[in-house]
Chains A and B, each alone.
Chain A
Amino acid sequence: MPVGRHIFAGGVVLAVLALGSLFVGVIDLKPSDLWQQSGALNLLLVSRAPRTIAVIITGAALAICGAILQMLVRNRFVEPMTAGTGQGAALGILLVTLFLPEASLLVKMAVAACTALASSVGFLLIVRRLPPTQPLLVPLVGMVYGGVIGAGVTFVAYQADLLQYIDVWMNGEFSGVLQGRYELLWLAAAVALLSYFAADQFAIVGMGRTASINLGLNYTQVVLIGLVALSIVTALTVVTVGMIPFVGLVVPNIISRFYGDNLRSTLPVTALTGAVFVLCSDILGRLLRYPFEIPVGTVFGVIGTGIFLWLLYVPKRHVS
Chain B
Amino acid sequence: MYLKRLLFMSALLVLCSVLYMTLGAKGSWGFILPFRGQKLAALLLVGVSVSTATVLFQTITQNRILTPSIMGFDALYVLLLTLLVFVFGGQSYVQMPAIGQFLLNTGLLMAASVALFGSLLGRGRVDLMRMILTGIIFGVLFRSLTGFMQRMIDPNEYAVIQSGSFARFTQIETSLLGISTLLTLATLIVVWRVRHRLDVLALGHTAAVNLGETPKRATFLVLVLVALLVSVSTALVGPVAFLGLLVVSLAHLITPTPRHAILLPSAALVAMIVLVGGQTILERVLALSTPLSVVVDVLGGLLFLILLLKGTFR
Residues on A lying within 8 angstroms of B by beta carbon are: 77, 126, 129-131, 134, 136-137, 139-141, 143-145, 147-148, 151-152, 154-155, 158-159, 161, 245, 288-289, 292-295, 298-299, 301-302, 305-306, 308-309, 312
Contact B141–A302 (Cβ < 8 Å): yes
With an 8 A cutoff between CB atoms, is B136 at the interface? yes
Write the nearest CB–CB distance from A130 to chain B, whole angstroms.
Answer: 7
Within 262-314 of B, Cβ neighbours of A (below 8 Å) are at 288-291, 294-295, 297-298, 301-302, 304-305, 308-309, 312-313
Contact B134–A309 (Cβ < 8 Å): yes
Report the bound CA distance from A251 to B138 in whole Å: 19
Report the bound CA distance from A312 to B135 in whole Å: 12
Contact A158–B290 (Cβ < 8 Å): yes
Residues of A within 8 A of B138 (CB): 305
With an 8 A cutoff between CB atoms, is B130 at the interface? yes
Residues on B lying within 8 angstroms of A by beta carbon are: 127, 129-130, 132-134, 136-138, 140-141, 143-145, 147-148, 151-152, 155, 241, 288-291, 294-295, 297-298, 301-302, 304-305, 308-309, 312-313
**Nearest 8 CB-CB pairs, A to B?**
A301-B144, A136-B129, A148-B301, A305-B141, A151-B297, A158-B290, A298-B147, A294-B151
Residues of A within 8 A of B304 (CB): 144
| Given A140-B132, A292-B155, A130 and B312 contact (CB-CB distance below 8 Å) | yes
Known: A155-B294, A159-B288, A312-B137. 16 other contacts (CB 8 A): A126-B305, A134-B129, A136-B133, A140-B132, A140-B133, A152-B298, A154-B297, A155-B295, A245-B140, A288-B152, A292-B151, A298-B147, A301-B147, A301-B148, A305-B137, A309-B134
Report the bound CA distance from A144 to B152 in whole Å: 30
Report the bound CA distance from A134 to B314 in whole Å: 13
Contact A139–B133 (Cβ < 8 Å): yes
Contact A151–B301 (Cβ < 8 Å): yes
Contact B148–A140 (Cβ < 8 Å): no
Contact A126–B301 (Cβ < 8 Å): no
Q: How many A-B residue pairs have CB under 8 A?
A: 102
Write the nearest CB–CB distance from A273 to chain B, whole angstroms.
Answer: 20
Report the bound CA distance from A136 to B132 in whole Å: 9
Contact B140–A298 (Cβ < 8 Å): no
Write the nearest CB–CB distance from A62 to chain B, whole angstroms.
Answer: 16
Please give me the residue from chain B that is nearest to A126 by CB atom: B309
| Given A299-B148, A312-B134, A130 and B309 contact (CB-CB distance below 8 Å) | yes
- 15 A-B residue pairs with Cβ-Cβ distance under 8 Å, sorted by A, are A137-B312, A139-B133, A140-B129, A147-B297, A148-B297, A151-B294, A154-B290, A293-B151, A295-B147, A301-B140, A301-B147, A301-B148, A302-B144, A309-B137, A312-B137
Report the bound CA distance from A136 to B133 in whole Å: 7
Contact A298–B148 (Cβ < 8 Å): yes
Residues of B within 8 A of A151 (CB): 294, 297-298, 301
Contact A305–B302 (Cβ < 8 Å): no
Residues of A within 8 A of B144 (CB): 298, 301-302, 305
Contact B129–A137 (Cβ < 8 Å): yes
| Given A144-B301, A158-B291, A302 and B148 contact (CB-CB distance below 8 Å) | yes
Residues of B within 8 A of A144 (CB): 301, 304-305, 308
Report the bound CA distance from A98 to B155 in whole Å: 33
Residues of A within 8 A of B148 (CB): 294, 298-299, 301-302
Contact B289–A159 (Cβ < 8 Å): yes
Report the bound CA distance from A245 to B147 in whole Å: 14
Report the bound CA distance from A288 to B312 in whole Å: 45
Residues of A within 8 A of B313 (CB): 131
Write the nearest CB–CB distance from A233 to chain B, whole angstroms.
Answer: 22
Please give me the residue from chain A that is nearest to B308 by CB atom: A141
Select one of A154, A161, A292, A309 contacting B294, CB under 8 A.
A154
Report the bound CA distance from A257 to B138 in whole Å: 23
Please give me the residue from chain A that is nearest to B135 by CB atom: A140
Report the bound CA distance from A77 to B289 in whole Å: 36
Contact B305–A145 (Cβ < 8 Å): yes
Contact A131–B312 (Cβ < 8 Å): yes
Contact A312–B155 (Cβ < 8 Å): no
Please give me the residue from chain B that is nearest to A129 by CB atom: B309
Report the bound CA distance from A272 to B130 in whole Å: 30
Residues of A within 8 A of B134 (CB): 309, 312
Residues of B within 8 A of A245 (CB): 140
Report the bound CA distance from A161 to B290 in whole Å: 10
Residues of A within 8 A of B302 (CB): 148
Write the nearest CB–CB distance from A315 to chain B, whole angstroms.
Answer: 12
Report the bound CA distance from A101 to B54 in whole Å: 44
Report the bound CA distance from A148 to B306 in whole Å: 12
